[in-house]
Amino acid sequence: MKRIKNGFNELKNKLTKYFTKVKRDHLVREYFKENMLFITFVITCVLNSTILRFFCMHTIENYLSVKAILADLTVVIIAGSFGYLFKPKNRFTYFMILEIFFTAICMINSVYYTFYTSFASVSMLVLTQYIGDVGDAVVENVLQLKDLIYIIGPLLLLFVYLKTKKKSNNKKIELKSIRKKKTLKTLSFGGCLLLLFLVTMTSLDVSRFVKQWNKEYIVMRFGIYVYQANDLVTSLQPKINAMFGFDQAKKEFTEYFDNKDNTKVTNEYTDIFKGKNVLVIHGESMMTNAMKLSFNGQEVTPNLNKLASEGMFFSNFYSQVSVGTSSDTELTFNTSLMPTKSGTAFVSYSDRYYIGIPKLLKEQDYYTYSMHANNADFWNRRAMHNSLGYDRFIAKAEYEVKKENIIGLGLSDKEFFAQSIPKMQDIAKEHSKWYALSIMLSNHTPFSDVTKYGEFPVDMKETITKEDGTTEEVTYPYMEGTKLGNYFKSLHYADSALGEYMDELDKAGLLENTVVIIYGDHDARLPRKDYNRLYNYDKENDKTLDSEDPNYHEYDSYQYEIGRRVPLIIWTKNSKGNSKLNREITDVMGMYDCQPTLGNMFGFSNQYALGNDIFNIKDKNIVAFPNGNWVTNKVYYNSQKQAYLSLNEEPITEEEITNNTEYTNKLLDVSNNIIVFNLLKPEEEIEE
């Protein structure tokens, strides 16, 4: 009897487990059936954010980051949970609005990252007024087929809605209490995920989340949706800071410069150019690595190379731009400040007080002016050049722009230079000392006006001897048809314009008693795959060598970053053969080192410069970048990867990495505070 009872209990337990499982499976099926819209919404939004990381940060660690996926999932579930407050017939509208919103975030950031190698900022929406001027560049160089893949999300949601609607016809009625219960359950689940995410955060995560300047790190750890929400708050910082935070920023600013050694140090270049005229040439997208290249025996930049060989050539020089590109370079060159963390100084902070080179030279009775054949309000230059200290801005309205003289965004460099010289002569007659800035334009992305650049093949020609003893010239395509190849053609044209400019300046007598300073404003933002073709061309098969090939030259992300160097040349008519003025400086140098270096040469100074006189600091210099990366003579450090590349055989310590990273972070904070809080404004000008 006992045995029968035990058998009965065992059978009962098995049946209970079976029916429990059936019931559970039934509940799961019912949940999926009743919540297909919500599930589709969640999956597509998280999938889109994962695809974005895949396209932007090409490592498994990045695009399959558990933290990022968890963060995106949390945001999407919490946002979607409120859809249950709506009646079933209106629920789709709510989910679709959110779906389109999250899809737009992914699409915008995908396009933005292609061009800027960074993620989009809400504060940059103010710059959409400039898109019309660079529309071709956006279409040809930025918008790609991959950027349309995110549309699959809304389309899939619509498909699921139509399919479920056909079956249910939305006749189901849910009581308000049931809708609230569903919302609460889903919201609670999202809350649990949020708690789990918060537990995984480290102090480094929190620090970088608050600072926001290391955008890749934030997206990698917090996902794109949290990043964008945080960016919105950060973008409102200028207005918020107008009410809060000034005292703390002022305190940190004072402490920073109290601890900075501002002792006046003289060197062999002190006052060497004092009283001389200055011509600064802003070289659009000029890059140092292109200066070393030739195609079929013809140099890409023969004139730039000639000037570099005759003057002072800073061959290890870096631009330090953020999203403001050319405008960021103008800011940093002139003021020795870094770009702002959000927005751009030229657009968002043009009303601040700046200690610029033009303003400092005006104290020595210089007449200062700038020339650019673009719209005066592009990058808000009309206002910002005034803030930097220019007496006059000669812009597009003062140039004759004919259709046949347009290359890329506007008036060709050759025509711009030709029309500028008479204007410069008139100014030189009226002013004994002058400072002039010429901003080039033709060598601007997308480098597509190849028919206007002149003849400069970027193919590979070889003369071969055939079996019968005769010779034949064979041509291989090499870089023809690539964006990098078109860039070389464009740069060769710009270099030709520069050569003609220098010749005409000399004929006009404008190079007498004049120091010419040429800098590249930033790299050309070209695809790394084109560089792989440049350095690993297989002419026999017209393709790039396989990475397993013994002749393959590695061009990884570090090489790409280091390859972003731009030229800096200081040249005078009598520099050639002068041991002081005719030399190559190989110590690493940044755009923010220009003002203090030139200040020592021309006899002006700015105690609030963040850079250094390169001839004082020499091999101890650190070049900081807006994204938190930095470089020295010894090492290039990537703050996103928290990894570095050794640049020579000198040993590198963890203490060195830590100290330089802290230095970079502090410098970025102080620079941002200077601009946002207008900390350089003289006290007598501050309104009570």
CB atoms within 10 A of CB 544: 17
Q: What are the structural domains of the chain? A: 35-235 (no CATH), 265-618 (3.40.720.10)
Q: What integer pLDDT is reported at residue 189 of this predicted model?
A: 92
User: Tell me: the pLDDT tens digits for 363-419?
Assistant: 999 999 999 999 888 888 999 999 999 999 999 999 999 999 999 989 999 999 999
Q: What integer pLDDT is reported at residue 554 of this predicted model?
A: 87
Among 142-146, 345-349, 501-505, which is the least confidently predicted range?
142-146
In this prediction, residue 677 has a pLDDT band, given cuts at 50, 70 and 90, of: very high
Among 48-57, 147-156, 554-563, which is the least confidently predicted range?
48-57
- The gap from C-alpha 489 to its chain's centroid, in whole angstroms, comes to 24
Strand duo 583-585 + 589-590: pairing: unpaired
Q: What integer pLDDT is reported at residue 460 of this predicted model?
A: 95
Among 63-72, 246-255, 533-542, 666-675, which is the least confidently predicted range?
63-72
Find the mean pLDDT for residues 449-456. 96
DSSP state of 138: I
Higher pLDDT, 467 or 28: 467
DSSP state of 140: I
Q: What integer pLDDT is reported at residue 475 of this predicted model?
A: 95
Among 15-19, 241-245, 273-277, 387-391, which is the least confidently predicted range?
15-19
User: Tell me: the pLDDT tens digits for 61-101?
Assistant: 665 678 899 999 999 999 999 999 988 888 899 999 999 99
In this prediction, residue 1 has a pLDDT band, given cuts at 50, 70 and 90, of: low
In this prediction, residue 688 has a pLDDT band, given cuts at 50, 70 and 90, of: very low
Which CA distances in Å does 369 have to 48, 128, 327, 361?
49, 28, 16, 11
Q: Is 519 in contact with 333 (CB distance < 8 Å)?
A: yes
Q: What integer pLDDT is reported at residue 505 of this predicted model?
A: 98
Q: Which residue has the tokens 């003609």?
A: 500
Phi-psi region of 301 (alpha: psi -120 to 50; beta: other; left: phi over 0): beta
Residue 596: name the closest of 622, 623, 569, 614 by CA: 614
Secondary structure, 3-state, 265-321: CCCCCCCCCCCCEEEEEEECCCCHHHHCCEECCEECCHHHHHHHHHCEEECCEECCC
* pLDDT reading at 494 higher than 70: yes
CB atoms within 10 A of CB 431: 16
Q: What integer pLDDT is reported at residue 194 of this predicted model?
A: 92
In this prediction, residue 457 has a pLDDT band, given cuts at 50, 70 and 90, of: very high
Q: What integer pLDDT is reported at residue 23 of this predicted model?
A: 46
In this prediction, residue 33 has a pLDDT band, given cuts at 50, 70 and 90, of: confident
Mean pLDDT, the chain, integer: 88
- The gap from C-alpha 101 to its chain's centroid, in whole angstroms, comes to 24
Helix ranges (H only) for 404-482 are: 413-430
- Amino acid code (one letter) for 495: D
Which CA distances in Å does 52 have to 62, 66, 68?
10, 15, 11
